[in-house]
Amino acid sequence: MTRPRAEGFLRLLAAGLLLLGAFGPSRAQTAWTLPSPSGQVTMTVRLEDGTLRYSVSREGALVLQESELGIERADAQFATGLMLVSASEPILVDEEYVAPHGKASHLRNHAAEQTLELRNPDGDRILLVFRAYDDGAAFRYSFPDSSVLFHTVTDERTTYRFAGNGRAVLQSFWPESLHEIVPLEDPPGGAGGWALPALFDLGHSWVLLAESDVEKSYFAAHLDEGDEVREYRIKVPETGYGVREPTWKLPWEMPWRAIVVGPDPATVVRSNLVSHLADSSRVSDTAWIRPGRVSWHWWARQPVGSMQVLRSYVDFAQSMGWEYSLVDADWDDYHSDEEMQGLVDYAAARGVGIFLWYNCAGPQNDYTFSPRDRMWDTQIRRAEMAKLSDWGVTGIKVDFFDSEKQTMIQRYQGILEDAAEEELLVCFHGSTPPRGWYRTWPHMMTTEAVRGAEYYLIDHQFPEAAPLHNVRLAFTRNVVGPMDYTPVTFSDEVYQHLTTNAHELALSVVFESGLVHLADDPDSYRAQPEVVQDFLREVPASWDEIRFLEGDPSTHVVLARRKGEDWYLAGINGTTSSREVVLDLAGFDYAGVGAFYIGDGETPRTFAWDHVWGTDFALTLAPRGGFVLRIPGDVTGAPGPPIEETSTEDEERLRLSIDGILPNPFTTTARIACSLSGGAPARLVVYDVAGRRIRSLPAAARPGTTHRFLWDGTDDAGLPVAAGVYFVRLTAGGRSVTKRVQRVR
């Protein structure tokens, strides 16, 4: 009888201590340590003398030493005098979701989470929710009370105090500025601060600071220098349109502060932490959200006033198998609604969707480019979007936001909400980097927030900076979401490229964007070797997986991306010296046959290309050069190394050729005649331009005869496919040959 009484006493004692902690000035527990699911990363929160602080460790090594937490409102402060109300038990967050576009398609949000409830001396409550991921940590504040009155946040006291010296890759707070590599402990001073994301190399760990789930109630933050050595703090935007301090009713939830942590840059580059922290998709049916490649007339300075030019870009997109064409600024000054409706219809008949450009307008910009009066006011915007939907327009590009204050965040969110109602895809320009919005609103395909290829037209210093700038973007800006750099420009419209043509081609893989605006003039693309044109027909705009192979923000980067069963490898050199790269292809489900390489030629404007036969492939990146390498997933019929002419009697040399591809403009059937010699089963497979298998057509082996395949324009399920460019691959006896076929509606 003694033991149960003792246990009951202990339970009563524990309950009393909890009550004392809830209503008294302190409680027994003052620190909470939260390890990630595998224990790689640990976040610790400590309450001492009424102040909250946190630290982050990776495998026992301190990454962020104790750093400040807190929020100040105009009516109350939550930085000092805090008392604990309750601490939840840690819970496991574990969800899987699918992304229509991005660096990976199937994602797992897996973390440990804990919540502290605290009150200030006046009894006002605040929650701190914090998480530990295997590749980082995160936390957010919220005010759980209810109020019909508006409250104003005057300052956020969040700091990041690094536990050691190292390098920082920082960008001044304007999202289109260049990155600098500076001492972490002594960054250059500046009143403007630095943009998020920001990258830090501590030697034993790499850290990327970012934010996610920025809603209408808050601002998009950047960084400022803290009061301590190696300390950075959240900075409320002071420039740009709108009131500095955000205002909202209670309850009120703030954005996630995201801290990506890993032993090397690979962890940073492949991290999806910003996506995981964002609110789940608010678009229930995403079947209409389709990433793609876009032809674009503006960079090549082709006039928007010529309907013939606009149609020629549609025709070029069709010939390349690209999904979209963008009509840029001032289109409404030159063309009537009837003419624009006609362009949309013309494009639709060719399997191409049309994007239209808009000026965000409003008092934050005085640019006269039009249309500038249709995206600011809610009612006008909704009417315009309804009209575009009736026309059959695919999406909109909205430009010139020029502010990160709460008012402008509300503008972004309003555009995304209304566009979802009309099933319009969205591209933001003159904008802030994505803050997790591409998960919540997956029809937000890309944002600019980058010094991209348009600077070849307006900045004489950009060509010199571009090679290393391109490298650094892979470690920073592009980590947190799709980036509309407008890549792959071979021609020199105003200022001459110093990057090689192979470097430019590689940007189509190194950079990720749900819309890839391939910006050069069609004649420039047509002037490239056929293998380069074929690559641009095939390269996807969304990916299933990413791998970091090697690199550093100060020199070069080599990445691998997977789409379906196909792998695309690409690398760029940011330095003026050549660089040797050795690729181990054995880890890409690679059978040692069928890979195809395109790299630097004898001059910066030429290419070299070849098939790759082994699993170890060594290449040389030219100064400011680059390469791409495609490994098809279906390698069973890929061409092997050349066969010696001296075959034995029981070895039979197999010859393949596709003699004719005969698209008939009056039917939906493509007639494909194939010649075989040698005895082997034959198969013809149809792929779309993204590398997805559409149709498989077998045929019996009939040595020395001609096989005829008839593709009726349907997929394996018998459903018709859209008009456009497809690829047919004939395979037999370990060999293959591939050609393009045009399907005409």
Q: Are 543 and 516 in contact (CB under 8 A)?
A: no
Q: Are 98 and 82 in contact (CB under 8 A)?
A: no
Residues 6+ apart with CB under 8 A from 336: none
Given the residues 454, 504, 566, 600, select the one marked as catalytic.
454
Distance CA 182, CA 468 (A): 15
Taking the C-alpha atoms of residue 417 and residue 425, their distance in angstroms, rounded to an integer, is: 11
Distance in angstroms (rounded) separating the CA atoms of residues 638 and 733: 9
- The crossing angle, in degrees rounded to 10, of helices 307-320 and 337-348 is 20
- Give kind and range of the element (H or E) at residue 595: strand 595-600
CA-to-CA distance for 106 and 97, rounded, in angstroms?
Answer: 6
Alpha-carbon dihedral angle through residues 516, 517, 519, 521, given to the nearest 10 degrees: 100
Q: Which helix (H) or strand (E) holds 407?
A: helix 406-422
For residue 65, give every residue at least 6 positions away whose Cβ sits within 8 Å of its Cβ, in sequence order, or none.
55, 161, 162, 163
- CA dist 722 and 199 (Å) reads 43
Indicate which residue of 135, 201, 399, 504 is catalytic. 399
Rounded to whole angstroms, what are the CA distances from 36 to 44, 112, 603, 723, 724? 11, 6, 50, 48, 47
Q: Is 454 a catalytic residue?
A: yes
Distance in angstroms (rounded) separating the CA atoms of residues 321 and 490: 20
Q: 85 in the Ramachandran plot: left (φ > 0), alpha (ψ -120 to 50) or beta?
A: alpha
User: What element of type H or E holds 607?
Assistant: strand 607-612
Catalytic, 134? Answer no
Active site residues: 399, 454
